């Protein structure tokens, strides 16, 4: 058989085919190797990030508990884990994978998470741990101004890192991510947002302290006690007050008085808007005890500031409000104090003594004297007695979080710095998370607020086609008042009906840009008074609770077009803290 030679053109074609096959196999091998390497590094990054998350939780607990030594050890371990996660997502294979059409978004998001955790661990957390908390507290009535300035620099630097991280994470698109990666990004965003709120507030506070404490010029403030026995939206009616002077970091009380001594004002003071008059009439501009019928503390404080100026001829630099519950938190740190002429005041008896027993045993003049002396004694003890700084700051933090300590500055630039923080007591006109306000104003002129036990449950409901969400508020008011035995000081001005019935005006504020739909009291639909304040619809329901009785108010509301599944409650601080529950949902587009 004769063997025929293969044509040259066919040999060339086969050669090309072999080269293409080899190249294809090589490309496939490299691709598989790269995928395998990225997958391997991904598992490494996942392991490191999970470890870092657990260490971050430990670090948070240790810092909150004041265990700085253990916190430093935890931080070292966290930095090692975070750095390893950053390295695992930084090699060329990972960079190549980020360009892939399917998995690329997930790999990019994981990279951003790793960078964020590492930046916080290296550049923010060490600064927060290095701040000497002792410099933020007075010693023998005076603050260490040099130490305060150093703390301010560290806190500002940490806050800057947190905000940079917040911005980068906010720019990570989550629409195309897998469920697990998307949930991790959203969770980390939430944690960083909360951290940014904390570092921002502390940083602003440290920057404000020197001017507030009269480093350049002496300052004077009204320290106002909110009487929770007669409820107002921000807590209780403004009762006893003290004037506090701050000069070169040293703070002292200079005089005291009561809201009653300021009298009343006719015609009403300006500063009460038309929408406020629709809800509260002219009362906030007439009576010092009614300035805080509104829950927006800057409005109430500015009115009180002007009333004090007109009556005394003196101008103060701001208003600081607190209540007996916050006082009890401070007494838990300082220990009991002897109030001259009235006995021992402690964390355990402060609320009961100031809001109940004083009305049963003292006449009106002695009541005012007791309130003023109690505030002065605790304040002076706080300045003079050595106290554990972490415990004291924790007591302040709890009081601010519960809106029991509020501050307004008469200096506009300082007030702008306070922003919409809890300390400022601002009812915001715009918000990222829908917030429902439930604010209580006494409706009888009695001192029965001490006996109220409130509760609130907020449920995030279904999404509407227009992007709004339905919310359902269920609140309860229980009265533990006795059926007899109370004095006229408690029962008040004796309006018609049973004087032992607690009469409360409940103001329900919709989320900003939202609406109030309907309400039921004990299951029966009721008509509501209505109005608006600060871009919120307001429903007003009079609720009466007799001794031992519980009344239940249910209100349906709408959010603005936010689409979020979260929600918040803003509440009037009461003598007995609220029991609350918020049931969230997924976002409208999920």
Q: Is the dihedral of CA 355, 357, 358, 359 positive or negative?
A: positive
| Residue 5 is assigned to a structural domain of this protein | no
Which spans in 65-178 are helix H?
A: 68-88, 92-97, 104-119, 125-130, 145-170
Residue 123 tokens read as 């550049």
139 and 231 both lie in a single domain: no
- Residue 60: the pLDDT is 65
- Residue 84: the pLDDT is 85
Last residue of a domain, which of 194, 212, 230? Answer: 212
Q: From 207, 109, 198, 194, select the one nearest 156 (Cα to Cα).
A: 207
379 and 432 both lie in a single domain: no
Residue 202 tokens read as 């502390």
Last residue of a domain, which of 185, 212, 239? Answer: 212
- Tell me the chain's radius of gyration from C-alpha atoms: 31
What are the contacts of 153-157 at 24+ separation with CB within 8 A? 154/127, 154/128, 154/130, 155/127, 155/128, 155/131, 155/199, 155/202, 155/203, 155/206, 156/203, 156/206, 156/207, 157/127
| Residue 1 is assigned to a structural domain of this protein | no
Q: From 575, 580, 498, select the one nearest 544 (Cα to Cα).
A: 498
How many whole angstroms separate alpha carbon 35 and alpha carbon 29? 10
Last residue of a domain, which of 380, 396, 416? Answer: 416
- Residue 49: the pLDDT is 61
| Residue 469 is assigned to a structural domain of this protein | yes
Are the C-beta atoms of 271 and 285 separated by less than 8 Å? yes
Are the C-beta atoms of 545 and 504 separated by less than 8 Å? yes
Vertex 135: Cα angle to 130 and 138 (nearest 5): 160
| Residue 421 is assigned to a structural domain of this protein | no
Contacts of 65 (CB under 8 A, 6+ apart): none
Query: How many domains does the structure of the chain reveal?
Result: 3
463 and 574 both lie in a single domain: yes
229 and 372 both lie in a single domain: yes
Q: Is 462 exposed, middle or buried (0-12, 13-18, 19+ CB in 10 A)?
A: exposed
| Residue 353 is assigned to a structural domain of this protein | yes
Provide the residue range defining the domain that includes 505.
Answer: 428-583
Q: From 190, 239, 244, 186, select the one nearest 219 (Cα to Cα).
A: 244
Residue 185 tokens read as 């990004």
202 and 305 both lie in a single domain: no
- Residue 217: the pLDDT is 83
pTM of the model: 0.81
332 and 252 both lie in a single domain: yes
323 and 302 both lie in a single domain: yes
| Residue 95 is assigned to a structural domain of this protein | yes
Phi and psi at 292, nearest 5°, equal -105, 30
Vertex 373: Cα angle to 398 and 453 (nearest 5): 45
- Residue 551: the pLDDT is 98
Are the C-beta atoms of 169 and 185 separated by less than 8 Å? yes
At residue 313, the 3 state secondary structure works out as: coil
Diameter of the chain by CA atoms? 133
185 and 321 both lie in a single domain: no
Residue 519 bridge partners (DSSP): 555
- Residue 349: the pLDDT is 96
Vertex 286: Cα angle to 281 and 287 (nearest 5): 105
Are the C-beta atoms of 314 and 277 separated by less than 8 Å? no
226 and 206 both lie in a single domain: no
How many whole angstroms separate alpha carbon 323 and alpha carbon 575? 9
Angle between helices 364-384 and 324-334 (to 10 degrees): 40
225 and 356 both lie in a single domain: yes
117 and 181 both lie in a single domain: yes
- Residue 171: the pLDDT is 86
| Residue 292 is assigned to a structural domain of this protein | yes
CA dist 300 to 224, 250, 291, 405, 575, Å? 12, 28, 5, 14, 21
At residue 434, the 3 state secondary structure works out as: coil
Q: From 27, 29, 34, 190, select the one nearest 104 (Cα to Cα).
A: 34
- Residue 151: the pLDDT is 83
182 and 234 both lie in a single domain: no
Are the C-beta atoms of 560 and 511 separated by less than 8 Å? yes
How many whole angstroms separate alpha carbon 372 and alpha carbon 244? 13
Contacts of 185 (CB under 8 A, 6+ apart): 109, 112, 113, 169, 172, 174, 177
Are the C-beta atoms of 534 and 296 separated by less than 8 Å? yes
- Residue 101: the pLDDT is 60
DSSP state at residue 142: B
| pLDDT (tens place) for every residue of the chain, 590 residues total | 444 555 544 444 444 444 444 444 333 333 333 333 334 344 455 566 666 667 777 776 676 566 778 888 988 988 888 888 888 788 676 666 666 665 667 778 778 888 888 888 889 888 888 887 667 666 666 677 778 788 888 888 988 988 998 898 888 887 777 777 777 777 778 777 877 877 787 787 778 777 887 777 889 999 999 999 999 999 999 988 989 888 887 778 888 888 889 999 999 999 999 999 999 999 999 999 999 999 999 999 999 999 999 999 999 999 999 999 999 999 999 999 999 899 999 999 999 999 999 999 998 888 888 887 887 788 778 877 888 877 887 888 889 889 999 999 999 999 998 888 889 999 999 998 999 999 999 998 899 999 999 999 999 999 998 889 999 999 999 999 999 999 998 998 756 689 999 999 999 999 999 999 999 999 999 989 899 999 999 999 999 999 999 999 999 999 998 778 889 999 999 999 999 999 999 888 65
């Amino acid at each position: 058989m004769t063997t025929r030679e293969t044509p040259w053109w066919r040999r060339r074609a086969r050669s090309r085919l072999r080269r293409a096959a080899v190249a294809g196999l090589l490309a496939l091998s490299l691709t598989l190797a790269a995928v395998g390497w990225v997958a391997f590094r991904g598992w490494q990054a996942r392991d490191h990030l999970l470890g870092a998350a657990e260490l971050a939780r430990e670090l948070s607990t240790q810092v909150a508990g004041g265990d700085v030594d253990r916190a430093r050890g935890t931080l070292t371990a966290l930095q090692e884990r975070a750095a390893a996660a950053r390295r695992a997502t930084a090699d060329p294979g990972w960079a190549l994978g980020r360009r892939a059409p399917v998995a690329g978004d997930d790999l990019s998001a994981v990279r951003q998470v790793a960078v964020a955790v590492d930046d916080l661990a290296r550049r923010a957390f060490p600064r927060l741990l290095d701040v000497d908390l002792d410099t933020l507290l007075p010693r023998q009535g005076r603050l260490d101004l040099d130490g305060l300035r150093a703390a301010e620099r560290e806190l500002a630097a940490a806050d800057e890192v947190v905000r940079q991280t917040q911005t980068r994470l906010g720019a990570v698109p989550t629409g195309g991510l897998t469920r697990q990666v998307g949930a991790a990004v959203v969770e980390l965003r939430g944690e960083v947002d909360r951290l940014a709120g904390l570092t921002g507030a502390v940083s602003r506070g440290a920057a404000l302290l020197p001017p507030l404490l009269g480093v350049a010029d002496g300052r004077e403030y009204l320290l106002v006690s909110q009487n929770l026995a007669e409820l107002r939206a921000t807590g209780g009616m403004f009762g006893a007050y003290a004037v506090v002077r701050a000069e070169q970091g040293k703070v002292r009380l200079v005089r005291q008085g009561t809201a009653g001594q300021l009298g009343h004002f006719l015609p009403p003071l300006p500063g009460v808007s038309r929408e406020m008059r629709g809800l509260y009439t002219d009362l906030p501009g007439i009576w010092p005890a009614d300035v805080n019928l509104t829950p927006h503390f800057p409005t109430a404080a500015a009115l009180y500031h002007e009333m004090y100026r007109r009556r005394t001829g003196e101008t103060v630099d701001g208003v600081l409000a607190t209540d007996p519950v916050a006082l009890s938190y401070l007494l838990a740190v300082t220990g009991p104090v002897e109030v001259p002429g009235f006995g021992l005041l402690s964390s355990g008896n402060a609320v009961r003594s100031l809001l109940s027993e004083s009305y049963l045993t003292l006449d009106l003049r002695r009541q005012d004297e007791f309130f003023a002396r109690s505030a002065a004694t605790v304040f002076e003890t706080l300045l003079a007695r050595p106290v554990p700084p972490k415990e004291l700051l924790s007591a302040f933090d709890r009081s601010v979080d519960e809106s029991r300590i509020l501050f307004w500055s008469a200096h506009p630039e300082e007030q702008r710095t306070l922003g919409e923080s809890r300390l400022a007591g601002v009812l915001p006109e715009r918000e990222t998370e829908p917030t429902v306000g439930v604010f209580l104003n006494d409706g009888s002129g009695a001192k029965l607020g001490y006996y109220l036990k409130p509760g609130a449950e907020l449920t995030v409901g279904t999404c509407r086609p227009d992007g709004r969400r339905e919310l359902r508020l269920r609140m309860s008011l229980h009265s533990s008042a006795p059926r007899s035995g109370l004095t006229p000081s408690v029962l008040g001005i004796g309006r018609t009906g049973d004087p032992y019935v607690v009469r409360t005006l409940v103001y329900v504020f919709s989320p900003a840009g939202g609406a109030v739909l309907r309400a039921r009291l004990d299951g029966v639909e009721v008509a509501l008074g209505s109005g608006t304040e600060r871009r919120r619809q307001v429903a007003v329901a009079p609720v009466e609770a007799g001794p031992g009785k519980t009344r239940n108010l249910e209100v349906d509301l709408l959010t603005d077009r936010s689409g979020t599944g979260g929600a918040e409650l803003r509440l009037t601080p009461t003598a007995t803290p609220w029991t609350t529950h918020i049931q969230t949902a997924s976002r409208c587009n999920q």
